[in-house]
Structure 1
């Protein structure tokens, strides 16, 4: 409606006498509407490039473990290969642009990550969510490519983003996520947040090496021309760039308020 205020809401579930999944399945069968939901596979599933979500059936009881036959994008970690898969991902201003040196468009890149992640049992998520309308709902997800993307992106940020920018950005993530989850992508507050997110990503350029193994996506290396990591400063060996004696003044200044409180207690 932010794009077209004249849109009408058409929702047969709410207007007709279709107030249960059983009635919806019967309606679809009567009118030859193809749906994946059957007595054997009673789950409601929504699928797109980023993920598949499963709800309903035995999943309505949060104690029940999902059945293995339900999953479509991934093998179970137990059945994943015994040998890890290594990949390298390139990013430009926070956006993934290549896998193993091959530049790919967004659709092709995520499709390939879904394949790689799915083969290694990566990206399954079982959670109980807090819905916008107030109820809790159990959902099971498959998002192999999304999981790999997140791990790689967050890892590259550790060497390319200033500490305080990263802290402020992370403090905004819950609000950013809430707006997306609740459908406010085109709201003005979202536009404001997006500008901040884009600004934070200008230095997030580089490559991350990842190990995919039995449900795990493990960053094992990262490099960037924008890296803020200085081996000369971080070394545990003898160096000429960091004066260890500076720590004394640092400790005294940061503990001053605590010393005053301790004196006051006495």
Structure 2
């Protein structure tokens, strides 16, 4: 049978049968698309949004980033919709000191957090007068220029001590919140910026010894982060179990200053922080 005959035979099928076949094809396509998205999100990359300022200045409220799922292996928290029911990790690998990791909050619930890996199993971690000490040695930090955060609807000039807020303006009248900034360098060479707002309760801590199979996590906004310096009872992270790791922060794929309105699509463009898109960690 030649191609013209096959085409004629197919087109002569009853309309109801053609409609049924089209429905089956659409259903098959949508099912394959769902499976592809599920595999992609479970094992390769997943989106994550930044809802708080605990990782300023590295991450800003309104950042949307992709999280790589493969670097640390897979646990029950790697699978979406609560599909995982197994213990331990598959293809497990350990994070490196300095990684920015997304993890399931170990105090219960479905909240995902993002912090920096500071202490590895067996490390000792302590804060003294606002300085980080690892394994008995002070981690070098250098005072650099203040970080000027643009004041926007989702990023007000929020400080731990409201009286310490410093608002500055540039020559065009744009308003910024000024934060005291340092560059901290971990053993191994990982270097990044941190904020130090006040002399707070987390600037001096007991000596922490990180248990086997756990990690010590900290936010870069040191005075505004409930992290491993605080116990679960104090609504902190405590020592993070390895199984609770989800993935490693990879790249910002979108960022918004919070000024967009859903019913005004043109504001989606004006509210975008274009200079942050493509930012890697």
Interval containing the TM-score (normalised by the shorter chain): under 0.3
TM-score normalised to the size of structure 2? 0.22
Higher helix proportion (structure 1 or 2):
1
Higher strand proportion (structure 1 or 2):
2
TM-score normalised to the size of structure 1? 0.23
